[in-house]
Amino acid sequence: MVLGPPRSRSKSKVGGDAEPEVFCADEQSDVEVDVVRWQRLAHQVLLAEGVRGGTELSVFFVDREVIADLNAEHMGVAGPTDVLAFPIDGGEVVETSAGPTGATRGPDRPPVDRGDLPLLLGDVVVCPSVASEQAPLHAGTLDDEIALLVVHGTLHVLGWDHHDESSTARMRARERELLEAHHWMSAAPSGFRQEHES
């Protein structure tokens, strides 16, 4: 049995009745990327993790320079990495109907239905160039490496982490389950190692 991630947020990831959306962009030219395929995989991970409603996730494929800059700025680590995840804690909607004097800004409006607002889950940033270099010693193929990075980053956005042995084991097991169900559609290939630590 695989347990889900420790939840720091008590709110469910639901934003109205709409279907979760994944926006995917290829902003690099080093490695050919099938944007539609990886967009579909991220969407399947969201659904498998119970994400419903008008939620939004973005997946960006970037070059080494961009991911190195993000790595330095947000992680304090020099050099490029394979994947970064930026969760957005989109739980609260602040309603301000009146200022300190009681005066409103603009016309009267019906109260905001929080269930109708999209929930921004966050961004996953993948560097295909780094993935290409590490694939032979990591996931085996570039295809499997990018799949692992998309799944890994999406799980991070949803609150999964690997800060100790127990959480690392749970996250790796969940990654493998999701890859088997949505990437390989069966068992993992024999060369797949899955030793991701990012």
**CATH number of the domain bearing residue 171:** 3.40.390.30
Q: Is residue 32 part of a domain?
A: yes
Q: What is the tens place of the pLDDT at every residue in 124-172?
A: 999 999 999 999 888 889 999 999 999 999 999 999 888 889 888 999 9
Q: Is residue 192 part of a domain?
A: no
- With tokens 């639901």, the residue in question is 14
Q: Is residue 175 part of a domain?
A: yes
11: confidence class by pLDDT, cuts 50, 70, 90 = very low
Query: How many domains are contained in the chain?
Result: 1
Q: Is residue 112 part of a domain?
A: no
Rounded mean pLDDT, 115-130: 84
Contact 158, 49 (CB under 8 A): yes
Q: Is residue 6 part of a domain?
A: no
Q: Is residue 105 part of a domain?
A: no
Q: What is the tens place of the pLDDT at every residue in 36-53?
A: 999 999 999 999 999 888
Its pTM stands at 0.75
DSSP symbols for 26-91: E--SSS---HHHHHHHHHHHHHHTT--SSEEEEEEE--HHHHHHHIIIII---S--SEEEEE----
Q: Is residue 122 part of a domain?
A: yes
> b/e map of 22-42 (b: 16 or more CB within 10 Å)?
bebebebeebebeeeebbebb
pLDDT for res 163: 85
CA distance 77 to 31: 24
Q: Is residue 190 part of a domain?
A: no
Q: What is the tens place of the pLDDT at every residue in 12-41?
A: 445 556 788 999 999 999 999 999 999 999
The residue range of the domain holding 160 is 21-90+117-182
